[in-house]
Amino acid sequence: MRALPLFHDLRGRTCLVVGDGEAATRKAGVLESVGAHVVRGASVDALDDVALVVVAETTDAVAQDAFNRCRARGVPINAVDRPRYCTVTWPAIVDRDPITIAIGTAGAAPMLARLLRTRIEQAVPMSMAALARLGEGWRTRAKAALTAPTARLRFWERFFDGPVTEAVFRGDIAEADRRARALLAGIPATPRGMVHLVGAGPGDPELLTLRALRLIQSADVIVHDRLVGEEVLAYARADALRIYVGKRRANHCVPQQDINALLIEHARAGKRVVRLKGGDPFVFGRGGEEIEALVEAGIACDVTPGITAATGCAAYAGIPLTHRDHAQSCLFVTGHLKDGRLDLNWDVLARPRQTLAIYMGVASLPDLSRQLIAQRLPGSTPAAVIIDGTRPTQRVIAGTLASLPGLAAAVAAAARPALVLIGDVVGVALPAQALPLAAE
């Protein structure tokens, strides 16, 4: 962040606008709309009691003189389209009074800021202003009725994301106020905790679902796996407690029963808990085991699906999991070794015209290759190992079923998450230049 964004109260303050063109007039109008006393001039002469100087459509000499005088007196100055003469920049503004959204680029790309403003204006309806004013009127009542901070937090979460908001957006303020009264009366003294099992997708934060993003942003506690990247965790509230419970092959830093106990403990304390998992919670994510433990303990819970590794990584690598000419089915298989051996239905896995997506299978690549070839799946069957799928560091190593054992050591040494795809579809992958990420 190059500059600190602040909202400046200019009511009754003097602001000097230097310049006589359309841009200067427009800036003066904005300043007057927030209650500033605007003085127009051709140059900067007196700066006593001036809160802000705006320079527009003047010569460089006038702008530089104004900049030097303002810097010497500590007066903020904005020179339109001249970043080098600015101590403050003028943002693109979305006005939903009392809500104000300001977008700035530190003067680097003003047009981009305007385009972003257009998108935000489409996403933030005008009725949001009425919702904010209604919320302002309820602040004192909510604080008096709900002494526990967590209870107030739950009230405001439901206030701004439920029937109250729906009524405001319909234009029925009286109904919104009635629903707010009912909501306040129904808030328990000790809020009820809940656990949300949330799929974070295979790595790229842009693959989060809207629901997953909302839950991450509202969580009090986030219990997350190793495959959940910092880019996803950055969406969490600054005050949210993060608990790492990541697992590697043969190295579980927190046993599953302890993870279950953590979820139950924080939910019973009235917290909104997000159990954040890479991929999808119900695809080799032990989500089923955790749901069973939560239900048995009487904890409210739900599941938000995520894009699983097979679909996300294959898509970014340009490999179709199914294809009318090559594969009419796709099997998701775990490659975890159990008691030193794989316990899989090899006859089913070796059938033709299907795709195998093997999770956590790097260590078992030699055994996978041997068993599948023994079941008469041709050693020439195309295969690929996708490392760091959907991330900027993604690598796709192509080969065949017979060559997979030779890849095991190199892939394991990378110590990065990997997915193995086996099937004729690997041989019809899209050209590398057409992919979101270049294949190797």
pLDDT, tens digit, 9 for 90 and up, residues 112-142:
998 999 888 887 888 899 999 999 999 999 9
Model pLDDT, residue 430: 60
Mean pLDDT along residues 72-79: 95
Return the CATH superfamily for domain 311-434: Tetrapyrrole methylase, C-terminal domain (3.30.950.10)
Closest CA to 95 of 74, 75, 124, 73: 124
Given this model, what pLDDT does residue 433 score?
Answer: 38
User: For the CA atoms of the chain, what is the radius of gyration?
Assistant: 29
**pLDDT confidence band for 188 (50 / 70 / 90):** low
Structure confidence at residue 335 as a pLDDT band (50, 70, 90): confident
Strands annotated E in 46-135: 50-55, 77-79, 92-96, 99-103
Q: In the annotation, is 225 catalytic?
A: yes
Average pLDDT over residues 163-170: 86
Q: How far is it, in rounded angstroms, from Cα 53 to Cα 391?
A: 45
Exposure on the CB side of residue 283, measured as CA atoms within 13 A: 22
State how beta strands 194-199 and 418-422 pair.
unpaired
Q: Are 70 and 47 in contact (CB under 8 A)?
A: yes
Alpha-carbon distances of 409 from 338, 403, 404, 412, rounded to whole Å: 20, 12, 10, 5
Give the SS3 label for residue 424. Answer: helix
For tokens 């901070």, name the residue. Answer: 149
Which residue among the candidates 20, 177, 247, 424 is catalytic per the annotation? 247
Q: How confident is the model at residue 414 (pLDDT cuts 50, 70, 90)?
A: low
Kindly tell me if the per-residue pLDDT of 24 is higher than 80: yes
Select the CATH number that applies to the domain covering 14-90 from these four: 2.30.40.10, 2.20.25.10, 3.40.50.720, 3.55.40.20. Answer: 3.40.50.720
Which candidate in 225, 280, 367, 388 is catalytic? Answer: 225
- Lowest mean pLDDT, pick from 155-169, 332-346, 409-423: 332-346
- Domain at 194-307, CATH homologous superfamily: Tetrapyrrole methylase, N-terminal domain (3.40.1010.10)
In the block, which residue shows the tokens 């997350």? 224
User: Which of 76, 8, 63 minimizes the C-alpha distance to 36?
Assistant: 8
Cα 344 to the center of its chain, rounded Å: 37
Mean pLDDT of the chain: 88
271 flagged as catalytic: no
What pLDDT, in 10s, does the model give residues 223-278? Answer: 999 889 899 999 999 999 999 998 765 555 789 999 999 999 999 998 989 999 99
Is 50 exceeded by the pLDDT of residue 144? Answer: yes
Long-range contacts (CB closer than 8 Å, 24 or more residues apart) made by 251-257:
256/286, 256/289
pLDDT of residue 270: 87
| Helix H or strand E encompassing 40 | strand 37-41
CB neighbours of residue 230 within 10 Å = 7
* Higher local confidence (pLDDT), 432 or 100: 100
